[in-house]
């Protein structure tokens, strides 16, 4: 019997999570009966989706207790909603345990989608929480039969560590039929989009603005380092060169990306989760036909070796970041367009969702 009911869950308020939205939309459009469960941590904005969405209300005031509260409440929700014709779909390690327990209890399929190497994220390095997440990985992952992850580097890491074979589904955006007229910005626009976290190279990029003229550096996103970086901009008297746009809806962010002269993905090696990552912003910029400056990390180097989509920074010294930006700006967006076009036709969700549906086919039998 075909299993057509899929319960997708994530520790997320779902507001700006593009990967989860793309996954759910693909499943919905392919005839699956979808229900998405998130939570209210970090916001409870109204969502409009063509499938049922609910959020678990959290009363916790710290992230540590929020994880426990969410997992307990998610277990109770899944226990009520799952039956023998359900497929469970857990996004990341912080939603895995209740899904795993219910899947085992009900003898139903479970798909684990690991967007990153959760136990190796910089924010938990050396903390007790890292030991907890590693313990959970060690106990659960060897028993997972269907797993998806976001980069080939991640897949190799999980295989080496836990012997699990994950299908790589990159977090590429949907294909844009590019008919946008490239304009000559004055000043030139440099764009960072994403969470404002440690090890993103943002503080060094801000300092690089001292070495550049006739540019404006736009930072689209929010996160724990935002206030510190805003203060850095004031301290360095760079208010005329650095602009914080805040957190934008995906459709508003896409409009901003289309108008940039140079994108940026200069993550530092803050642990294995960053080292093997293929950041969304790289694929978003490629789809918008915007060249980038990139860190010399494996997944980004791999794309750069295949397509000339920008420049690799020598290191994170501000003057070398500025040099890479200057190289992109001097060459000009139009001169990268041919390679960006080739990359955009390959690195798109239309190609990635085929692999997602193959995994669902193995679960829905």
Structure tokens at 24: 């759910």
pLDDT at 364 over 80: no
What integer pLDDT is reported at residue 1 of this predicted model? 41
Q: At what angle do helices 250-258 and 280-287 cross, to 10 degrees?
A: 60
Structure tokens at 147: 């797993």
pLDDT tens digits for range 17-46: 889 999 999 999 999 999 999 999 988 888
Query: What torsion do the CA atoms of 9, 12, 18, 19 make, to the nearest 10 degrees?
Result: -40
pLDDT tens digits for range 220-241: 999 999 999 999 999 999 999 9
State whether the Cα torsion 101-47-24-149 is positive or negative: negative
Tell me the CATH number for domain 5-172+350-363: 3.40.50.2000
Cβ contact 299:278 at 8 Å = yes
- Adjacent-strand bridge partners of 90: 9, 112
Cβ contacts of residue 179 below 8 Å, gap of 6+? none
Q: Which CATH superfamily is domain 188-346 in?
A: Glycogen Phosphorylase B; (3.40.50.2000)
pLDDT at 2 over 90: no
Q: Which of 283, 295, 259 shows the shortest CA–CA distance to 340? A: 283
pLDDT tens digits for range 145-171: 999 999 999 999 999 999 999 999 999
pLDDT at 178 over 80: no
Distances from the Cα of 338 to the Cαs of 228, 289, 311, 333, 341, in angstroms?
39, 9, 15, 10, 5
Look over the chain and give the mean of its residue pLDDT values, rounded to a whole number: 94
Cα separation, 170 vs 163, whole angstroms? 21
pLDDT tens digits for range 268-310: 998 899 999 999 999 999 999 999 999 999 999 999 999 999 9
- 188-346: same fold as 5-172+350-363? yes
What one-character DSSP code corresponds to residue 166? P
Cα separation, 300 vs 278, whole angstroms? 6
pLDDT tens digits for range 48-104: 899 999 999 999 999 989 999 999 999 999 999 999 999 999 999 999 999 999 999
Cβ contact 119:35 at 8 Å = no
Phi-psi region of 63 (alpha: psi -120 to 50; beta: other; left: phi over 0): alpha
Cis peptide before 187 (omega within 30 of 0): yes
pTM above 0.75, yes or no: yes
- Adjacent-strand bridge partners of 37: 9, 54
pLDDT at 173 over 70: yes
Cβ contacts of residue 133 below 8 Å, gap of 6+? 93, 118, 119, 124
pLDDT tens digits for range 301-311: 999 999 999 99
Concatenated DSSP letters for 87-133?
A: EEEEESGGGHHHHHHHHHHHT--EEEEESS-GGG-GGGTTSHHHHHH
Domain boundaries, the chain: 5-172+350-363, 188-346
What integer pLDDT is reported at residue 78 of this predicted model? 98
Burial readout 49-68 (b: 16 or more C-beta within 10 A, e: otherwise): eebebebbebeeeeeeebbe
What integer pLDDT is reported at residue 3 of this predicted model? 53
Q: Mean pLDDT, to the nearest integer, of 238-256?
A: 92
- Adjacent-strand bridge partners of 35: 7
pLDDT tens digits for range 182-198: 888 999 999 999 999 99
Phi-psi region of 126 (alpha: psi -120 to 50; beta: other; left: phi over 0): left
């Amino acid at each position: 019997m075909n299993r057509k009911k899929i319960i997708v869950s994530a520790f997320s308020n779902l507001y700006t999570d593009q990967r989860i939205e793309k996954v759910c939309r693909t499943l919905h459009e392919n005839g699956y009966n979808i229900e998405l469960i998130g939570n209210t941590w970090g916001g409870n904005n109204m969502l409009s989706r063509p499938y049922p969405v609910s959020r678990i209300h959290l009363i916790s005031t710290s992230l540590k207790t929020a994880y426990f509260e969410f997992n307990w409440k998610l277990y109770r929700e899944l226990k009520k909603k799952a039956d023998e014709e359900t497929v469970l779909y857990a996004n990341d390690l912080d939603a895995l345990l209740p899904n795993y327990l219910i899947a085992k209890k009900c003898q139903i399929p479970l798909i684990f989608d690991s967007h990153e190497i959760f136990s190796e994220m910089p924010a938990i390095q050396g903390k007790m929480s890292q030991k907890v997440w590693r313990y959970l990985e060690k106990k659960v992952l060897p028993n997972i039969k269907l797993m998806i992850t976001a980069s080939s580097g991640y897949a190799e890491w999980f295989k080496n560590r836990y012997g699990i074979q994950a299908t790589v589904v990159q977090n590429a955006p949907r294909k844009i039929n590019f008919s946008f007229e490239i304009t000559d910005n004055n000043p030139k626009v440099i764009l960072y989009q994403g969470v404002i976290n440690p090890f993103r190279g943002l503080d060094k990029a801000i300092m690089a603005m001292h070495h550049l003229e006739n540019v404006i550096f736009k930072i689209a996103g929010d996160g724990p380092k935002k206030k510190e970086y805003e203060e850095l901009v004031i301290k360095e008297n760079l208010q005329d060169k650095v602009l914080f746009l805040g957190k934008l809806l995906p459709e508003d962010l896409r409009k901003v990306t289309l108008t940039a002269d140079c994108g940026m993905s200069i993550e530092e090696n803050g642990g294995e989760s960053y080292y093997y990552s293929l950041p969304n912003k790289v694929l978003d910029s490629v789809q918008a036909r915007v060249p980038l400056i990139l860190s010399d990390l494996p997944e980004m180097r791999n794309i750069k070796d295949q397509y000339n989509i920008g420049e690799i920074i020598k290191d994170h010294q501000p003057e070398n970041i500025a040099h890479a930006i200057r190289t992109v700006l001097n060459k000009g967006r139009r001169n990268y367009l041919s390679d960006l076009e080739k990359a955009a036709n390959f690195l798109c969700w239309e190609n990635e969702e085929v692999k997602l549906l193959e995994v669902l086919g193995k679960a829905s039998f």
